[in-house]
Structure 1
Amino acid sequence: MKFSSCFSNCFSSASETPIDIGRAEIEGENYQNFTVFSYSELKVATNGFSASNKIGEGAFGSVYKGLLRDGTNVAIKMLSVELESMRGEREFVSEIISLANLKHENLVTLKGCCVDGANRFLVYNYMENNSLAQILLGGEQNRMKLGWEARRTISLGVARGLAYLHEEVEPHIVHRDIKASNILLDQNLIPKVSDFGLSRILRDNASHISTHVAGTLGYLAPEYAISGRLTRKTDVYSFGVLLLEIISGQTVVNFDLEHGEHYLVQKAWEIYRANSLLQLVDPTVRMNYPEEEAVRFIKVGLLCVQETARLRPEMPIALKMLTNDVDIEGVQISQPGLVADLMNIKLGQKTTFPCSYS
C-alpha cells in the first residue's frame, strides 16, 4: 500500500485541528525508507500478537516483539483509537511526523506503520536491552550492569539526541516526555530516545501554550505543569531529572511511611547544599568512577532542573558542560523547581507514569 493511500484511510473521519495539521504535515513530506505494513504481516510477525511476544505496556498501547519475513527483529507498538477523544490517533500522527525523516544514532528508528480499522501500529528497530527504566528500577543486580562508563555513554547519548531535536532539526521538536522508560538501549547499551507520541513542533523559536499538560509526574518542569507554557527548556528540566536518576540509580519519586513522598531532585539539592555530592552516586558503581566527572554530571543535572527556566542551559550547552568543553567551576546553581502537589498541575492534564518499552 502506498503511504498516501494509507493515510487517506487514517484521516478520513478526523475533524480535530491537530489531526488536520498532522495530515498536512504527512502529505507534504517525502518519507524515505518508510514501509506501510499490512495487518497480516504484523500478525504473522508477532505470532498473532501473542502474550509471549509482548515486551511492554505504555500509556498509549502495548508493544510486541516481531520477526519480519526478511529476518529482521522489530518492536511493534499497537495503539487503539478512542473515537470520542481521538486518543491514540494524535500520538500516532505525532510519532510519524516527528520520526519518519529523522536519523540520529540516539533516536529510535521508525521503520513503518500500519492502519487497520481503529487500530494503529508503529514499527521500530528492536532494542535488545529494552528500556533504561528496566535496568535502573530492576534492583541492585540489574543496576550493577551499568558501570560508570555505561552511565556516561547513556547520559551523553541522550543529551546528543535532545540537542539534535532542539537545534539541528527544523522546525525544532520538543519531546515532552523524557524519562527512563522512554530511553531504549541497543545491544551495546547505546541509548535511543523513543516514544514521540506527546512531542510538539515549535516553529520560529516560539513557545507553545498547551491546553493540557502531558508528561510524567516527577519529570515535569514546574512552569509547564502549572501554566502549560512549553519550550525547549521543558525537555531540559526532564533531562536533568533523568541525569540525576542515571547517576544515583534512585527512583524519581520515592515513598516511605516515615517521610512520605520524597523527590530525587529535592534530595540532590539537599546533598549539594551539604557539599557532599558524591553521596548521590549509586553504590553499585562502587569506587570505580572518576569523582570529578561524577560531581560535574550531578551539577549539570541540578543546573537543568533550576526553578527559573531561563537559568537552565540549552541542551547543546548542557552537553558541552558534561564533556567539560564548557567549564562550570564557580557557576551558581539556584534552587530546583518541583511539582510535588497534583493540585498544582494545570487542569485537563494528561500525566503518565513509568512503564517499560513504552
Structure 2
Amino acid sequence: MMDIKIFSEEELKKMTKNYCEKRRIGKGYFGEVYKGITQDNQQVAVKRFVRNGEEHDKQDFADEITSQARIQHENLVRLVGCCLHTDVPMLVLEFIPRGSLYDVLHGNGRHTHDLPLPTRVDIAVGCAEALACMHSNIGHKSVVHGDVKSGNILLGNNLEPKVSDFGSSKLMSVAKSDNWSVMADKSYIDPAYIKTGRFTEKSDVYSFGVVLLELITRKKALYDDRKSLPLSFAKYYKDDYARRNMYDQDMLSSADDALRPRYMECLDRMANIAIRCLKEDIDERPTMAEALEELKQLSASLNVT
C-alpha cells in the first residue's frame, strides 16, 4: 500500500509502552496521539482513534489512509503506517518535535518561542504549499483538509511547518454529499459551511485566513474572554491605526528600527490576504494556490537586503 507499513497491535503497544500516559502528546475529537519508538529506533506519533459512542466506518478509515499515502509534500505530516487489526483505527505518523504552532504562539512554559516576522511568513508559505498541494492533487480527486487550525500545524526543529491531522479530511466527492459533516474547531470553521452544509476547498481557505490572523496578531482565534479574532479584525481592518494596533507589538518592537517600515508593510499585506480569505462569499476568496503566490512574494520582499 504505497510504502505504508502495516503494524500489528502488539507492535503499537510496544512502541508506546502500552499507551503510557507519559507518552501521550495530544488529544482531540478523533482520539489520542502518543509518542512511539519503532524497532529500528525511529520516533513516530501513534494516532489512536476513539469511538465517541459511534461505530467507525471502515471505508472512512480506508479513505483516510489512501488520502494520506497518496498526497506527499514536505509540509504535510508523513504517514508511516497503520494498524488494521484493532477495533479502533490506528495511524502511525512521522514525529514532529517542536509541537504545534498554537503552542508556540499561545502556549505557556517551554513551548512559547520568539517568532520574527520572516519566520511567520515562512510558516504561512509552508502551510499554504501543503494545502494547495492537497487541493490540486493532480490526477486524483481533490482533497479538503477540514480542520485547518494552528493546533494542527506542527513545527520541526527549524520551525518548518507540517500540516497534520487528516482526521476530518475526505475525498471531495464525499465532501459534496449532503450527509458529510465536519468535526472541526468552531473558532475556525467556515460560516458558509454552517449555512449550506457544503464544505469545499474554499472552507479550508477561510480557516487558513484565521491562522494568518493568529500569525500577525499573536492572538487566539477566540481571545480576551471569547472575542472572535476574525470578527474583531474585520471590524477594525479599514482603520489603519486600529488595525495596526492589533498586530503583535512585541514582534514589532524587537525588530531593528530600519526594518520596521518594511515589516509594517508586510503585515498590512498579510492582513489583506487574510481578510480576503475570510470573505463571506466563497467566490470572493482566493484559492490556496493564489494565496500561496502572494505569500511567496511577501517572503521574497522581506529577504531583500
**When the two structures are superposed, what TM-score results if normalisation uses the length of structure 1?**
0.75
RCO comparison, higher one (Cα < 8 Å, 6+):
1
C-alpha displacement of 1:149:
2.2
Name 2:292's counterpart in structure 1. Answer: 319
Mapped partners of 1:138, 1:210: distance in 2: 36
Q: Distance in 2 between matches of 1:209 and 1:324?
A: 38
Distance 1:209 1:247, change over 3 A: farther
The one-letter amino acid paired with 2:223 is N
Question: Does 2:147 match 1:177?
Answer: yes
Cα distance in 1 for partners of 2:180, 2:41 equals: 44
Alignment check: 8 A CA contact 2:102 2:150 kept: yes
TM-score, structure 2 as length reference: 0.87
The farther-off stretch of 235-244 and 146-155 is 146-155
Runs of 4+ residues over 6 Å off in structure 1: none
Q: Aligned pair in 2 of structure 1 residues 46, 88: CA closer, same or farther (>3 Å)?
A: farther
Q: Judging changes above 3 Å, is the alpha-carbon distance between structure 1 residues 139 and 51 closer, same or farther for their aligned structure 2 residues?
A: closer
Q: One-letter code of the match for 1:117?
A: T
- Matched pairs, number: 289
Q: Distance in 2 between matches of 1:318 and 1:210?
A: 30
| Structure 2: distance between partners of 1:213 and 1:34 | 26
Give the structure with the higher percent helix: 2
Q: How many angstroms apart in 2 are the aligned matches of 1:263 and 1:90? A: 36
| Offset of residue 97 of structure 1 | 2.1
Q: Which consecutive unaligned segments of at least 5 residues does structure 2 have?
A: 299-305
Counterpart-to-counterpart distance in 1, 2:116 and 2:161: 15
Taking the TM superposition and a 5 Å limit, the aligned residue runs for 1:40-79 are: 40-79=10-49
Equivalent in the alignment of 1:138: 107
How many percent identity over aligned positions?
Answer: 34
Aligned twin of 1:122: 91
CA 1:117–1:166 in 2, change beyond 3 Å: closer, same or farther?
closer
Moved more, 271-280 or 122-131: 271-280
1:301 match: 274
Query: Mean alpha-carbon deviation: is it higher for 207-216 or for 246-255?
Result: 207-216
Give the aligned partner of residue 272 of structure 1: 237
Question: Root-mean-square deviation (CA), in Å?
Answer: 2.3
1:103 matched residue in structure 2 = 72
| Contact 1:106 1:160 (8 Å CA) reproduced | yes
Take 1:284 and 1:81, find their aligned partners in 2: how far apart are those partners? 43
Would you say the 8 A contact 2:4–2:81 is kept in 1?
yes
Aligned to 1:216, the other structure's residue is in SS state coil
Q: Residues 248 and 87 (structure 1 numbering): CA distance in 2 closer, same or farther, change over 3 Å?
A: farther
Query: Counterpart of 1:119 in structure 2: which amino acid?
Result: V
Q: Of the candidates 154, 167, 190, which is equivalent to residue 197 of structure 1?
A: 167
Matched, 1:241 2:249: no
